[in-house]
Chain A
């Protein structure tokens, strides 16, 4: 990956990530998050992890973010104008951010300042290598994860199908009416 492309994408992902946090309109935040995910997907592809990059674009940017969009619409979130929260909380937050940045500066930057290209084996990140590993070495973990997701889906459906209070009342009303009729 040419360095100029890397720096462009890195800047884009950081700026759009800031946009997620700093913007007031939830839909604008979501668009910024999509941009972040896409920039990171292209970074993955540029580093040789082609399948992971495309899956990031398909699954996260293409499907999960659309779900987020639905949630934002259904919750009908208001656009926040002006700042909220207490002054003390903001001050504490600022101190925390400063501490984190200082920690990054002291502990991380000096030793990792030199950017080195990673050495990959042939076929690294290609779909056959990835699926060979996934479906042989990590097969049990993979299957267990799929069962876990299935449980989550079944649970969500069960929760959504629970009869609401209104339905219970209308059923009670119907039965009392039939009793009277009897």
Chain B
């Protein structure tokens, strides 16, 4: 019991760290990847003593983005505007960040692993109702943004807060509907069980990944996930050209960094959830507990411990690829207009999600899948 608690705590910390590191990757992509896409040089200063240059290495701007920027943010004056609600103004950024970080706990990042006779489930919190848990925590994320906008005593901030609230509530419904179809397909609320049932192959070679069963739900979840993380093309709450920075206008220093990090962490979370539901989680095609069974009939034996570790690595690689994809989306599309955003949400995604649930239900009943 004690050892399980300790391992659970370690896994939870590990998962939060993975999430935060992915956020840092996204932050780096935001600065340097965007420069690559737009054919700019991007962050290239703060090259201490020019050692890298002398050795002939390209300046990757790592010190700017990952050292200088955070140091700058966390040493800035923590400004609270006049007439602001001090308590809520201070609380809001963490109210936004906290629900995202606790959601990482239910994501399975590997199969069971057996070390020294103990078998551990590589999922920090093995909840039976994990799908409900993540809907609840994602729903809580609205408060930080909404209250941050309200507590700043600034009209741009309030407008940004209201926009963010309306947007997140609207797209949560689309996300929930996509999730309902996924839950019906797997017949469970347990994320680890969902990933398990994505093992194996069809027709001898095609991995049984969720995206092949629920392609529409994948697109809906992807769209709703990007909208939930308030990134371009859904960044109306921040909209620099209209609202300066929306709900973040009156924040500076560490609190603003917390809000920014929330967006990156939500993006990382979206990537993890997409991998878990649709891209086989930690599953590697043709890899079973005893080794690879290639379609041609070849077999490659691998030790069980190595299989578990390979699964974790596969999960991380998939998540990083999806994070990079989300970054590409963010730097390729222009921002929606507000009426377009609401039309897409309510007249596009929600009816499609409902239709998807209906068709999924018909297919399950027709193929005798219901118990």
Those of A116-132 within 8 Å (CB) of chain B: 126-127
The answer to whether B143 touches A25 (Cβ under 8 A) is: no
Bound complex: CA A63 to CA B139 (Å): 7
Whether, in the assembled complex, B165 has its beta carbon less than 8 Å from a beta carbon of chain A, the answer is: yes
Across the interface, do B162 and A73 meet the contact criterion of CB distance under 8 Å? yes
Known: A34-B143, A73-B150, A73-B158. 8 other contacts (CB 8 A): A51-B129, A58-B135, A62-B139, A63-B169, A66-B142, A70-B165, A127-B129, A127-B132
Report chain A residues within 8 Å CB of B88. 27-28, 31
**Interfacial residues of chain A within 43-81, with CB under 8 A of chain B in the complex:** 50-51, 54-55, 57-58, 61-63, 66, 69-70, 73
Task: Verify A62–B129 contact, CB threshold 8 A.
Answer: no
Residue numbers in A under 8 Å from B331 (CB-CB): none
Chain B residues near A69 (CB, 8 Å)? 146, 150, 165
Q: Which of A1-59 contact B (CB under 8 A)?
A: 25, 27-28, 31, 34, 41, 50-51, 54-55, 57-58
Q: Please indicate the chain B residues that have their CB under 8 angstroms from the CB of A25 in the complex.
A: 85
Interface hits, B290-308 → A, CB 8 Å = none
Are A54 and B136 touching (Cβ within 8 A)?
A: yes
Q: Which residues of A contact B (CB under 8 A)?
A: 25, 27-28, 31, 34, 41, 50-51, 54-55, 57-58, 61-63, 66, 69-70, 73, 126-127
Interface presence of B287 (CB below 8 A): no
B47 within 8 A of A: no
- Most chain A Cβ neighbours within 10 Å, of B87, B133, B136, B169: B136
Across the interface, do A54 and B133 meet the contact criterion of CB distance under 8 Å?
Answer: yes
Q: Report, as a range, how many residues of chain B touch the other chain.
A: 20 to 34
Which 10 residue pairs spanning A and B have beta carbons closest together?
A62-B139, A54-B132, A57-B136, A58-B136, A50-B129, A58-B135, A54-B136, A58-B139, A66-B142, A54-B129
> Which residue of the partner chain A has the closest CB to B158?
A73
Interface presence of B44 (CB below 8 A): no
Residue-wise interface mask of B (177-189) relative to A, using a CB-CB cutoff of 8 A (1 in contact, 0 not)? 0000000000001
What are 23 A-B interface contacts by the 8 Å CB criterion? A27-B85, A27-B147, A31-B143, A31-B147, A34-B143, A50-B129, A50-B132, A54-B135, A54-B136, A55-B132, A57-B136, A58-B139, A62-B135, A62-B136, A62-B172, A63-B139, A63-B172, A66-B142, A66-B146, A66-B165, A66-B169, A69-B150, A70-B162
Is the pair B150, A27 in contact by a Cβ cutoff of 8 Å?
Answer: yes
A134 to chain B, nearest CB (A): 15
Q: Enumerate chain B residues within 8 angstroms of A51, measured Cβ to Cβ.
A: 129, 132
Task: Please tell me if B140 contacts chain A, counting CB pairs below 8 Å.
Answer: yes
